Amino acid sequence: MATFTITIPDDKVQDVLDAFANQYNYQEQVPNPDYDPDVPASEETVPNPISKASFAKGTVRAFVKNVYIAYKATEIDEQRAEAIETANSDIDTVTVE
């Protein structure tokens, strides 16, 4: 399996993580799955268990996956168009008398 590495200068890491968080709607706080409105101490939100770094990595992974899927779909669309063209040519030789 190939490895794909992105190198970010140390002084830019936090800016890059913040940019991903901002661009892709990372939430510092997320709904508390254990929230109980009947318990006064129960918090509606909790700190996001997914770090900004993990979130950014997941976003990059999803981007690469989506690019690959789009590429494969385009290949299939091209094959489909060729098949339709061939079928149209083939059917043009059919006659009914």
> pLDDT tens digit string along 8-56?
999 999 999 999 999 999 999 999 999 998 888 889 999 999 999 999 9
Q: What pLDDT is attached to residue 20? A: 95
Tally the residues of the chain: 97
Domain count, the chain: 1
Smallest Cα–Cα separation from 43: which of 54, 32, 52, 53?
Answer: 32
Q: Which two tokens stand for residue 35?
A: 């929230």
Domain that holds residue 74: 10-91
User: Is 83 among the domain residues?
Assistant: yes
User: Is 1 among the domain residues?
Assistant: no
User: Is 58 among the domain residues?
Assistant: yes
User: Is 34 among the domain residues?
Assistant: yes
User: Is 4 among the domain residues?
Assistant: no
Confidence of residue 96 (pLDDT cuts 50, 70, 90): confident
Interior/surface letters 83-94, b for 16+ CB within 10 angstroms, e for the rest? eeeeeeeeeeee
User: Is 28 among the domain residues?
Assistant: yes
User: Is 50 among the domain residues?
Assistant: yes
User: Is 97 among the domain residues?
Assistant: no
pLDDT over threshold 90, residue 97: no
Q: Which two tokens stand for residue 27?
A: 């939430």
pLDDT over threshold 80, residue 94: no
pLDDT over threshold 90, residue 89: no
Q: What pLDDT is attached to residue 61? A: 94
Q: What pLDDT is attached to residue 18? A: 97
Query: Would you call 56 exposed, middle or buried from its count of C-beta atoms within 10 A (0-12, 13-18, 19+)?
Result: buried
